[in-house]
Chains A and B, each alone.
Chain A
Amino acid sequence: MEFTKLFSQSEVERVHEASLEILENVGMMVRNQKALAIFAKNGCQVDMETMMVKFPREVVEKARKTFVPTYTFTAQDPKFDVTMPGDRPIVVTGSSAPNIIDPETGEERRATSDDIANIAYLINELPGFDVFSISTLADDAPEGQFSLSRFYPALKNCKKPVRSNTPNMDDLKAVLDLGALIAGGEEEYRKRPFINHHYCPVVSPLTFDVESTEAVIYLLEEGLPVYGTIVPNAGMTSPLSLMGTLTLGNAEFLGLATLTQMIRPGAPMIYAVLSTVADMRTGAYAPGAIETGMLQMAHTEMARYYNIPSGGYIGLTNAHSNDAQSGYETGMNTTGALLAGADLFNMGGLLGSLMAFDFAKAVIDNEIALMLKRMKKGFEYSEENLCLDLITKVGPGGSYMDLDHTMKNMRTIAVLPKVATREMRRRWEDQGKPDAHSRAMKEAAKILSKPNKSRFSEELDAKVRSYFKGLVAGDAKWGI
């Protein structure tokens, strides 16, 4: 498959050059002391007082030399390990929404650890999803267990790679303790680190924050998996032009990549973004806008120039229900990104601009994910697939229905959707005119009303619960 190209080679090179100019002449403000020291030690011009860091171009170019082309998400169960770019597209849930659409009432409410358990189980079962990024916060978290109340139900109910963030170092260390307990020791955990850490350490424009940067440095030093997403918002935190936002975001990515490679040369990275254009009428955040997809396509082209995996939060929606807007925003933006060659799609399950998880949205996004994977698989060009002999054999006026070839391919050549309807109108009316949302809720209920076979064993669960006193229950249960 040839990827869509938006720029000529010289235009790509100019964006890179312009990014170097930004880093060298404007620089970045680095609010984390450890990061300042690392930049100073490795050839940047650092003003400890103003926290301003300027990057001579050779420092960035040196970092580029140790970029690696692959990134692996490790799972509790090795059969779910995925590596980019080979396994692209990697489809991930959207994460850290404070709310959930209650599956019973349809009303938005704060999400809990029980919701996370249900979501984790659902994502474990839906074949379109590769990675579970913990979709919501847990409002019922006991004091001091903000992150444990998210990671425990997630890891307990999902054997796919689990991804999320932590707000501070204490939480991060608690989560790593949980990982070691599950793995049967710290050493065992380090062999297969199945918690995949993600942060947004760069706050646009051109600023490294305190806490997330601290976590990123710690994880890199420990040799554990971590990557960051760059999040400029045109008109607010970056120029109100697509080129300006692409270039600023690219400079910010290079700043983070340089820090990463200074700490651990050869550390795998993802060129991940959520570059958006603000709705200037109100200042509203618009991740579902078509410009988000366009920016993702452009960033992906830059990532290909650097030969590293790319992607980000692509396929989000501003819609508050599973309506047409929700479908076209997720569908159009992910299609664009896929055609441009993006590897990672943080797209599943969230409505209202990352504010609320919805079970039906996750099921619909699973179907979109399967469509994207089908698109990526493409036409499988080969002499055999031209089917010249079959065409000759059947001839004009015949039928292909009863051929072995058809029997062989009928379950694999096309995506067989569970949400999209292909019924005749009359039958659909007889069924009560179910829309995509209600068909998707049915699929979710079908999965969640059965017991979770992938749950922790009782022994492991007892071990975890005796180590962390007062943990939330963390069990999937579906009462509808």
Chain B
Amino acid sequence: MSVQNIYDAVVEFNIDKVVSLVEAEIKIGTDVSEILSNGLISAMDEVGQRYSEGEFFVPEMLMAAKAMKAGLEVLKPLLSQGESEKKGTIIIGTVKGDLHDIGKNLVSMMMEGAGFEVYDLGVDVDTEKFLATAKEKNADVICMSALLTTTMPFMEVTVKAIREQGLSFKTMVGGAPVSEDFAKKIGADGWSTDAPGAVETARKLTAK
């Protein structure tokens, strides 16, 4: 029943409690993937759900993601021993010329919360860096964010480069000025209005 307590602690965004509960579960030998799936990840699904219904505000979603991440950090050394399946690898960053990263950071945390392996390249990221990191980490999806309308064209540059080089990475775009039409027009594989939606889209794109 204590995995349920972890779930509750994430939904209450109590970081210390999540960490101590995860530690306690590991100590008594609970299956690590059970802690991950039924404790942490399903709690974040609940958080995303509550946000979508308007019950949770953005800061609550962010705090829950932080609590989830703290629990994940405790689990990580054990997970890398191959006890849990990998959900997929995400490369994320704000595009060249743009320093706005609040939305991107939230998506990044929610992706981690959903169990993805996330490499956040920060802000002002050019195509070369997106592609080099994606190749190095054998990524599934490259996620690009922009707030300025004038930096949106850099998303298209990266999508084109992936095509031209015959690479198989999927792409997702997001940020206040990005619309579904824009995503389609530049040939991106995915798009979302908000962070929980981005997680859903990434799940679809990485479904094997």
Interface residues of A (CB under 8 A from B): 31, 96-99, 109-110, 137, 146, 165-168, 200, 203, 207, 209-211, 235-237, 278, 280-283, 285, 353, 355
Q: Which of B58, B97, B124, B181 has the most CB of A within 10 A?
A: B58
B103 located at the interface, meaning its Cβ lies under 8 Å from any Cβ of chain A in the complex: yes
Which chain A positions have C-beta within 8 A of B148? 167, 200
Pairwise interchain contact B97-A280, C-beta atoms closer than 8 A: no
**Which residues of B are found within 8 Å of A235, using beta-carbon distances?**
59
Distance of A109 Cα from B148 Cα, bound (Å): 18
Pick the residue among B58, B149, B185 that contacts A96 (CB under 8 A). Answer: B149
Which chain A positions have C-beta within 8 A of B106?
283
Instruction: Give 5 closest A-B pairs by Cβ, nearest first.
Output: A283-B58, A167-B150, A203-B99, A280-B57, A98-B149
Contact of A99 (CB < 8 Å), options: B57, B179, B194: B179
Chain A residues near B58 (CB, 8 Å)?
A: 278, 280-283
Whether the pair B182, A98 counts as a contact (CB closer than 8 A) is yes
Given contacts A236-B102, A281-B58, contact A167 B151 (CB under 8 A): yes
B residues with a Cβ closer than 8 A to A are 54, 57-59, 97, 99-100, 102-103, 106, 124, 148-153, 176-177, 179, 181-182, 185, 194
Known interface pairs A98-B177, A165-B150, A167-B150; A282-B194 also in contact (CB < 8 Å) = yes
List residues of chain A with CB within 8 A of the CB of B182.
98, 110
Q: Which residues of A contact B185 (CB under 8 A)?
A: 110
CB distance from B85 to the nearest CB of A (A): 31
Q: CB-nearest residue of chain B relative to A166?
A: B150
Known: A110-B185, A137-B150. A281 touches B97 (CB 8 A): no
Residue of A31, A98, A280, A281 near B152 (CB, 8 A) is: A98
In the complex where A96-B150, A237-B102 touch, is A210 in contact with B59 (Cβ < 8 A)? no
- Nearest residue (CB) in B for A209 is B99
Contact (Cβ within 8 A) B57 A355 = no
The smallest C-beta distance from A275 to any residue of chain B, in angstroms, reads 16
Asked if residues B59 and A280 are in contact (CB atoms below 8 Å), the reply is yes
Do the beta carbons of A355 and B177 come within 8 Å of each other? yes
Contacts of A353 in B (CB 8 A): 176
Looking at the assembled complex, report how far the CB atom of B156 sits from the nearest CB atom of chain A, in whole angstroms: 11
* CA A282 to CA B124, docked complex, whole Å: 25
CB distance from A274 to the nearest CB of B (A): 13
Least distance between A146 CB and chain B CB atoms (Å):
7
Contacts of A207 in B (CB 8 A): 99
Tell me, in angstroms, the Cα distance from A168 to B179 when the chains sit together. Answer: 24
Instruction: Across the interface, name the chain B residue whose C-beta is closest to A164.
Output: B150
Is A210 in contact with B97, judged by CB distance below 8 angstroms? Answer: yes
- Known A237-B102, A280-B59, A355-B177; further 4 A-B contacts with Cβ < 8 A: A99-B179, A137-B150, A210-B97, A282-B57
- Known A-B contacts A98-B182, A99-B179, A146-B153; the reply to A281 vs B102 at CB < 8 A is no
Establish whether residues A31 and B153, one from each chain, have CB atoms under 8 Å apart when the complex forms.
no
B90: shortest Cβ distance to chain A, in Å? 20
Q: How far is the CB of B147 from chain A (nearest CB, A)?
A: 9
Asked if A281 meets B150 with Cβ closer than 8 Å, knowing A203-B99, A207-B99, A210-B97, the reply is no
Q: How far is A283 from B58 in the complex, measured between Cα atoms in Å? A: 6
A residues near B100, Cβ cutoff 8 Å: 203
Measured CB to CB, the closest approach of chain A to B59, in angstroms, equals 6
Query: In the complex the two chains form, is B54's CB within 8 Å of A168's CB?
Result: no
Closest Cβ–Cβ distance, residue B61 to chain A (whole Å): 9
Q: If the complex has contacts A31-B99, A110-B181, A167-B97, are A97 and B59 also in contact, measured as CB distance less than 8 A?
A: no
